[in-house]
Structure 1
Amino acid sequence: MEQKVEKIVSWLRIQVEQANVEGLLVGVSGGIDSAVVANLIKQACPEHSLGVIMPCKSQSSDQDHAQKVIDVCGIESITVDLTETHEVMFSTIKQQLKNQDSFNEEQAKLADANLRARLRMSTLYTVATNHKYLVVGTDNAAEWYTGYFTKFGDGGVDLVPLVHLTKGEVREMAEYLGVPHEVVHKQPSAGLWEGQTDENEMGTSYEMIDKYLKGEEIPEEDKKIIDAMHKKSAHKRQLPPSPPQ
């Protein structure tokens, strides 16, 4: 694990140098993936790294966990509360759709959640531009393969240092780095709505996805879910298509 950490930290430093920027930042959600990235960028750029906490109708425990991650790893931080911004923007859009009689109640929950992720992305890039930093993503191998991220939201980043690590490997790295126990062992959640968890939404578990990615046998039902998610989310891992010349 020490070698894995050193390899990622070295790679991050090279990215900073090649991009001719000053440092790195990450959105710290209170979850395990962003906690690991916060530690990694702090090691890569001790004097030029930043954690950004962005509550948006979030559970108070998430913000508490995010702050604890910041305190333990010693990274500089700022907090930008997006609750009011989101409320104004989403309610304005929703009202216009209702005026056109085209508002879809069934899709509203997803649209609401995706807007939160995209507001966070916009916030990170605004702060990053101010500091001349790169935005570092938190997606692990399981999330990347299944497309469990918002396109141009938490998927809108400059670097993805965890993309080759399974969720289990991220957890091992978190323990090695000294991430707070309650963050390491909390139920994975994007915090998009009350009671939301990653595994309930996906219909399978990170354990099953990790096994699948490592080529191990898993129940056929889980395999079908994972294959379907991968196929459906292919567009998220590609550049926007264009017509042939």
Structure 2
Amino acid sequence: MTNSTPFQAEKINEFIVKWLRDYATNAKVKGFVVGISGGIDSALTSTLCAQTGFPTLCIEMPIHQAESHVNRANEHIAQLKNRFPNVLSERADLTPVFEQFKAQVTSSENETALALSLANTRARLRMTTLYYFAGIHGFLVAGTGNKVEDFGVGFFTKYGDGGVDISPIADLVKSEVRQLAAYLEVPQNILTAKPTDGLFGDDRSDEDQIGANYDELEWAMQQMESGKKETDFTGREATVFGIYKRLHLLNQHKMQAIPVCLLPHHLK
């Protein structure tokens, strides 16, 4: 997606940090909790939170995690603690919890559905862990979703990584996340790593799962918002637009408020 307006990293950074600081002050909370995955979104979110001066608790929560993910997470946490004295860290190894959960529930012969359900379970175990730490410290859980994930294709787990108190980067598309993260000197290993949700215990990327990369999805998001249709495109563009449109419609249940059955007045 192209944009003729230069990316104003300094001003955007200042705006988000002030927004976070003001929100925490008005909510009368003591700080922030951020789950650190080794990816760029959580690295940027935690860096923004750290700049507020409020205590920022970075939590690593491996579940059969790839070593490269763990190494990137630890590198980022170490760098952030070195830069900001208000940054704290915890490690909660959720692998035994996940394995115990699997041992207590029935399995399924539908391997695709089982794999997806267990992947979402990982995200929900992490959400529970974040809220545990938020609860004992009086902190807010800061979400790490970007605009394409949260409002474009719904690429997140409902009540998993989608279960947060505030979303500081949800109005930034992925290219903007990369630019702001580079401006804030997030480790190079994280800046260049393939985006992945790390929920399947292998090295599959977000692109592998979705069928399009984030630059393509940003383009499709812009096209759909401008009123374009699949028939306006051919070749790869038509394919990408179709992927975006299908996921955008399929995942509306994640992006919209929970449907409430409102009773008519004569029944109340």
CA distance in 2, matches of 1:36, 1:225: 27
Shift, 1:47, TM fit: 4.6
Q: Highest Rg: 1 or 2?
A: 2
Matched with 2:249 is 231
Match of 1:9 in 2: 17
What's the CA shift string for 1:200-222, capped at 9, x where partnerless? 10011101111223348871111
3-state SS in 1 of match to 2:44: helix
Q: Percent identity?
A: 37
The number of residue pairs the alignment matches comes to: 238
Match of 2:116 in 1: 110
The structural deviation recorded for 1:239 is: 2.2
Question: C-alpha separation between the residues in 2 aligned to 1:103 and 1:93?
Answer: 13
Is 1:39 the counterpart of 2:47? The answer is yes
Q: Shift in Å at residue 195 of structure 1?
A: 2.0
Structure 1: unaligned runs, 5 residues or longer? none
* Deviates most, 27-36 or 65-74: 65-74
Q: Which moved more, 1:123-132 or 1:103-112?
A: 103-112
For residues 124 and 78 of structure 1, the distance between their equivalents in structure 2, rounded to whole angstroms, comes to: 10
Deviation per CA, 1:138-197, whole angstroms, max 9, x where unpaired?
100111110000000000001111111110100001110110101000010011121221
Q: Give RMSD over aligned pairs.
A: 1.5
8 A contact 2:32–2:141 mirrored in 1: yes
Deviation track 1:31-62 (CA, whole Å, cap 9, x = no partner) reads 00000011000001x35111000001101111
Q: What does 1:185-224 align with in structure 2 at a 5 Å threshold?
A: 185-193=192-200, 194-215=202-223, 219-224=237-242
1:184 aligned residue: 191
2:24 equivalent to 1:25 = no
Match of 1:240 among 258, 261, 266: 258
Runs of 5+ unmatched residues, structure 2: 1-8, 82-86, 227-232, 264-268
CA distance in 2 between partners of 1:220 and 1:175 (Å): 32
TM-score, length-normalised on structure 1? 0.93
Whole-angstrom distance in 2 between the partners of 1:42 and 1:189? 24
Asked whether 1:166 is paired with 2:173, we answer: yes
Question: Matches of 1:220 and 1:59 in 2, distance apart?
Answer: 34
Write out per-residue CA displacement over residues 9-44 of structure 1, whole angstroms, 9 at most, x where no aligned residue.
Answer: 000011111221111110000000000011000001
Please point out which of 71, 74, 82 is paired with 2:94: 82
Aligned to 1:147: 154
